[in-house]
Each structure stands twice: as structure tokens, then as C-alpha cells.
Amino acid sequence: MRSRHIRRTVAGFLLLLVSAGANAQENRTVDGDALGRPAWHPVLPAASELEAIPGTENFIILRNVLRDRVQESWRHRDNKPHGPLATIFYERLSDNFFASQMYDADFRSIFDAAFAARGVNLDDADVTVIDARTRAATVSYRATTCVFVLRVFGHIADNPISAAESNGDRNARIFVCAQNVADQAPLRDTATAMLSILGAEGDRPDSLPALLEKLFDSEKGA
């Protein structure tokens, strides 16, 4: 049954949080199913499926094309293992969609998979609902604070029955982290501004360059 297949594949691919190299990325669903042999390669912003707005010129962009999906990773060139860092993982399904009823479970699974090695899970985080298809979680571990955002968007299924279950054919995960942070608001502002790279309206894209500059200048050498 189509909807069951969607539920198994809804959360897409798992990637290491901060590595800049393509060889560190895994192609498995959150259930552990292999998605195929990775073929990550660098692309210029103009060749990406995401928006090349001011501030994105400092991101390293890698693309992976599989039989049933296209994936991209965006990592700021100054990323450090525990922050500061700004990263986006993006995925578009070729002939499928992400089920709305699975959003809560996917949000938890992706967060827990990303931060399990840090000794925290979603129950340790402060979660904010941005809209029906976008949610943010702020968490701290040791000296690092991170904001994680999951957004599901894109084309809604044409079939009326499927459309009632669909959140869109794309998802993106945003990670913004820094060390020794007293004020979490700039991290949340940066993550929110990065939503404009996904084509989201009303997320202050004009502020992104200054927010990224502040993020990385404040912790150079950390």
C-alpha cells in the first residue's frame, strides 16, 4: 500500500552533523533501510535546488542523486565540530511525499539520531512550533547549544486522498550551534533566517549575512 511505503521512507537520510566531507554521509532512512550507494559531488549555488540568497556564498554545497530522491547538504565553510556551525540537509522525493501524520515521529527520530552521541534526546530540548510543517528544538550539551529545525514543504500530492495525508515532497533540517552561549536568541534568529534559503516567506532573509557573521566571528578558534 502506497501510504505504508511513505511512512517507512518519510524521514529520509541520516548525515553526520558537522563533517564537511561527503564520505562521512550515510544514506539510510531513520528505520535503517539503505537508500543506495552515495554519489556526493560539489555543486555551485546556482545549480542547487535551494535559494542562493545573500549569505549562502560561504556554504559548501554537495549533491547526491539517487533513483527516487535528490539530496543536498549545505555546510558553512567555517563550521567546527561543536560550534559554531550552520548546516542544512535537504531532500526532495522524485515520486512520493512525506506524510503529515508522521511529522511528530520524524521530528523526534531525526533529532534523537543527530544528538544521541551527545548524550541528549528530544525530551531534553525546548521545542517551538513555527507552523504546521515546521518545528524547532533548542538543546544544550556540555558547552554547546544547538537549534534544530525540521521543515517539510514543496508539492502536495494531486490525488485528493493522498493530498489529505501529504505535507509535501521535500524536507530540510537546519542545525545552528555555538559554544559557551549565554543568549540563545541569536541562534534561533539565525536558524529562522536560514528558512529563507528553502524559499519560505517572511523569514527575514536580509538579516542572514549579519547573523552568520556574528555567529562565526563570536567564536573564532573555538
Q: Name the strand (E) or helix (H) holding 64.
A: strand 59-65
**pTM score, whole prediction:** 0.84
Evaluate if residue 186 carries a pLDDT over 70: yes
Quick one: pLDDT band at residue 161, thresholds 50, 70, 90? low
CA gap 150, 135 in Å, rounded: 6
Tens of pLDDT along 97-107? 888 989 999 99
Query: In the prediction, which pLDDT does 205 show?
Result: 62
Which residue has better confidence, 8 or 191? 191
Quick one: pLDDT band at residue 218, thresholds 50, 70, 90? low
Query: In the prediction, which pLDDT does 6 show?
Result: 39
DSSP state letters, 84-105? SEEEEEEEEESS---BGGGHHH
Query: In the prediction, which pLDDT does 21 show?
Result: 40
DSSP state letters, 158-222? SSHHHHTTB--SEEEEEEEEEES-S--HHHHHHHHHHGGGGT-TTS-GGGHHHHHHHHHHTTTT-
Which range, of 62-76, 109-123, 208-222, averages the lowest pLDDT?
Answer: 208-222
Question: Which amino acid is it at 221?
Answer: G
The fraction of the chain above a pLDDT of 70, given in percent, is: 77
